[in-house]
Amino acid sequence: MKAIVYTETGDAGVLSVAEREVPEPGPGEVRVRIVVSGVNPTDWKSRAGSSTRQRASAESVPNQDGAGIVDAVGPGVSELAPGDRVWIYLAAPDYGTTGTAQEYTVQPVAHAVPLPEAVSLDVGASLGVPALTAHRALTVAEDGPSRLAPGTLEGQVVLVAGGAGAVGHAAIQLAKWAGATVLTTVSGPEKAALAKAAGADHVINYRTEDVAARVREVAPDGVDTVVEVSLAKNLDLDLAVLKTRGVIAIYANDGGNTVELSLGAGMGPNVRLQFILLYTVGTAVLRRAVEDVSAALVDGVLPVGEEHGLPVLRFALDDVAGAHDAVQGGAVGKVLVDVTPE
């Protein structure tokens, strides 16, 4: 089988095409023929050596997310059978050779999730990191739910920083599905159109508008949850618009790694700062997120495509390097790699 591999960290030039034996699934594992592989910032950061995770293998296959067809199951697996369509999350959480940038991958059965027939494999490959991260961000508020379903965020206000990104897109869609009023910030009219297409109720251009004033117009009592991509840039704004016992859910460090925090500004209103990294959230949190995202898929939530607010950019398997460079360069939309025919 064809696989994309790297044996040292560095720029995208360390990636190469290799021929490898088709792996066999062991107990509790499934082998999946990958049709589409999804690329996220965590993938290029791991390849570049800038991830906080430790490398566990001399040879690595990149990309955490993907979707495809179950090809074989190992002993003890009854949840899935050959021919089942699945989406995959955290395919290679500790580096290693189980990423989705290859024609076949072996995964623990819990990491291969049934994909409804009505849902495309493109959508399946776009879930993983963005959707599970967004779910976590929306379920950590002190006065909010630990699960998402229609009505669970009824009456709550969510502010999504960077609504045109993959996590922002998922957060908008999941929050709307759960009944929240959703505001989002963007940098220009093109991204505003995407955030609106995703379902945001109010879209604010942070370069031309007074964001705090606009938020307070919509939510005089403040925001329950901020889904934050750039705490270094937005902390003062977030504190200015949060309601008492609100939460800032931080999933990325765009714009800088350090912040200066006035303890009084957060202590009085009992602000919660919740950092999010999927690799360490715990299995129970992941299980709940997978179940809720799967339920949202049944309801038609989380579609991809420009008309839904998340354009798709496609690359061939031989050009995973180009896909990584596109994500690293800030491409707007979801970067997908075509691996095998459906």
In this structure, the answer to whether residues 162 and 81 fall within a common structural domain is: no
In a domain, 142, yes or no: yes
Give 264-279 pLDDT, tens digit per residue.
888 999 999 999 999 9
Same domain? For 39 and 104 the reply is yes
> How much is the average pLDDT of 32-51?
94
pLDDT in tens, 228-287: 999 999 999 999 999 999 999 999 988 888 988 888 888 999 999 999 999 999 999 999
Contact status, residue 38 vs residue 169, Cβ threshold 8 Å = no
Answer whether residue 201 is part of any domain.
Answer: yes
**Cβ of 65: how many Cβ atoms within 10 Å?**
30
Question: Does 205 share its domain with 234?
Answer: yes
The verdict on 234 and 321 lying in the same domain is no
Query: Cα torsion at 33, 63, 117, 305 (round to 10°)?
Result: -130
- Closest residue by Cα to residue 320 from 14, 10, 1, 9: 14
pLDDT class of 93 with cuts at 50, 70, 90 = confident
Q: Which domain holds residue 327?
A: 2-126+310-338
Residue 57 has pLDDT above 80, yes or no: no
Asked whether residue 287 is domain-assigned, the answer is no
Q: What is the mean pLDDT of residues 173-187?
A: 98
Per-residue DSSP letter, 307: G
Q: What's the pLDDT score for residue 54?
A: 57
Q: Residue 325: which pLDDT band, with cuts at 50, 70 and 90? A: very high
The fraction of the chain above a pLDDT of 90, given in percent, is 91
Which of 68, 40, 44 minimizes the C-alpha distance to 339? 68
Q: Is residue 232 part of a domain?
A: yes
Mean of all residue pLDDT scores within the chain: 95
pLDDT of residue 130: 98
DSSP conformation class of 253: B
pLDDT of the residue at 55: 63
Mean pLDDT of 62-88: 98
Pairing of the two strands 112-114 and 85-88 = antiparallel
Q: Are 122 and 137 members of one domain?
A: no
Read off the CATH number of the domain in which 176 is found: 3.40.50.720
Name the nearest CA neighbour of 113 among 295, 317, 251, 279: 295
Name residues whose C-beta falls within 8 Å of residue 74's C-beta, 6 or more positions apart in sequence.
Answer: 24, 25, 26, 27, 28, 29, 30, 31
Domain identity same for 142 and 244: yes
How far apart (Å, rounded) are the C-alpha atoms in residues 169 and 298?
Answer: 18
Q: Tell me: the pLDDT tens digits for 197-224?
A: 999 999 999 999 999 999 999 999 999 9
Tell me: pLDDT of 91 over 90: yes
Last residue of a domain, one of 231, 263, 279: 279
- pLDDT (0 to 100) of residue 289: 98
Angle between the N-to-C axes of helices 320-328 and 41-48, in degrees from 0 to 180, rounded to the nearest 10:
110
| Domain identity same for 142 and 224 | yes
CA-derived radius of gyration, the chain: 20
Does residue 52 carry a pLDDT above 70? no
Q: What share of the chain is helix, strand, coil (3-state, %, to 5)?
A: 30, 25, 40
Q: Which two tokens stand for residue 57?
A: 């293998």
Q: How far apart are CA 235 and CA 260, in angstroms?
A: 9
How far apart CA 5 and CA 216 sit, in angstroms, is: 49
| pLDDT at residue number 125 | 98
Q: How many domains does the chain have?
A: 2
Determine the pLDDT at residue 51. 72
Q: Do residues 140 and 19 both lie within one domain?
A: no
Q: Are residues 268 and 148 in the same domain?
A: yes
Q: What is the DSSP letter of 138?
A: T
Task: Give the angle 310-311-313 at the CA atoms, nearest 5°.
Answer: 130
Task: Give 221's DSSP letter.
Answer: T
